[in-house]
Amino acid sequence: MESVALTREVTFSSGHRFWLDHLSAAENLTLFGAYASRFNHGHNYRLQVTIDGQVDPMTGMVVNIKLLDELLQDNVVDKFHLKSLNDEVAVLKGKVPTLEVLLHVVRNLIAEPDGRVLLNSSSPQNCQVTLQRLRCFEMPDLWADWTENMMTLTRSYEFAAAHRLHVAGLSHDENVKLFGKCNNQNGHGHNYVVEVTVTGQMDENTGMIIDLVQLDRLVESEIVEKLDHKNLDVDVPELLGRPTTSENIVAFIDKVLQEKLGKALVGVRLFETARNSFEISHG
């Protein structure tokens, strides 16, 4: 039988700070930029744990989900919930509790080095359950993913823009047939959301795989400022002469970011609406 992946989510609320006491204020500012502060701030974290295993022919389950809940409650939630991650969580002492660091720590708290999940059960079947992926949301627009092969960080950004789907080489009737009401002569608009996913080696000092301040500045200046509150058909030189479909828009965004980020860019995903998304992946 094929293996089946199961994802379970838990939540916890914790405080943390981006500040190293052995460094000066100027050194902390250099490392953490706008996020540097000697005082805590808090987040409502969402942790998604994906495990993989064979379906037990008797129970019809990959694992008894109660066992997974017990593991996550005992090893993660009880340790992190309503705590200062810098001060009250022993496994994080001396570390900057970024999303990247949190996922590394959680991985070691719930799985063996070979990936077997540490379930409290004597059933041989449960020994075959392995950790496939971790995802943790610090905020709705910022999350990280861990797998054995890669750590990624995803940040989402918004811009509002108008456009009209139209091909100059087609007749009026052909355009209407192809694009329907999206060919409206005076255009229409969307609140676009673009997700940018990056990877890299974790910096031992900051606990980050990328400078988030620099990433925000890059996307804001190269993407959001160019597209926000613009008519995509006339205000964006790179899109002139092409239908401003989301396919063409996401290709433009990806090209710009790939030129700036290189191999650090894992992918770009563009939401035109909550129901339509378009993605280019390099991972």
CA distance 268 to 282: 9
Annotated catalytic residue 182? yes
CA R_g for the chain: 23
Please give the C-alpha separations between residue 281 and each of 46, 83, 216, 245, 258, in angstroms, as whole numbers: 24, 37, 20, 18, 11
Q: Which of 70, 182, 220, 282 is catalytic?
A: 182
User: Cβ(189)–Cβ(160) under 8 Å?
Assistant: yes
Who contacts 104 (Cβ-Cβ below 8 Å, separation ≥6)?
A: 146, 151, 202
Closest alpha carbon to 136 in 69, 80, 192: 80
CA distance 249 to 247: 6
Q: Which of 9, 225, 229, 259 is catalytic?
A: 229
Q: Which of 163, 166, 190, 272 is catalytic?
A: 272
Annotated catalytic residue 104? no
Annotated catalytic residue 272? yes
Which residues partner with 50 through β-bridges? 7, 133
Q: What tokens were used for 197?
A: 């996913």
Q: Which residues are catalytic?
A: 182, 229, 272
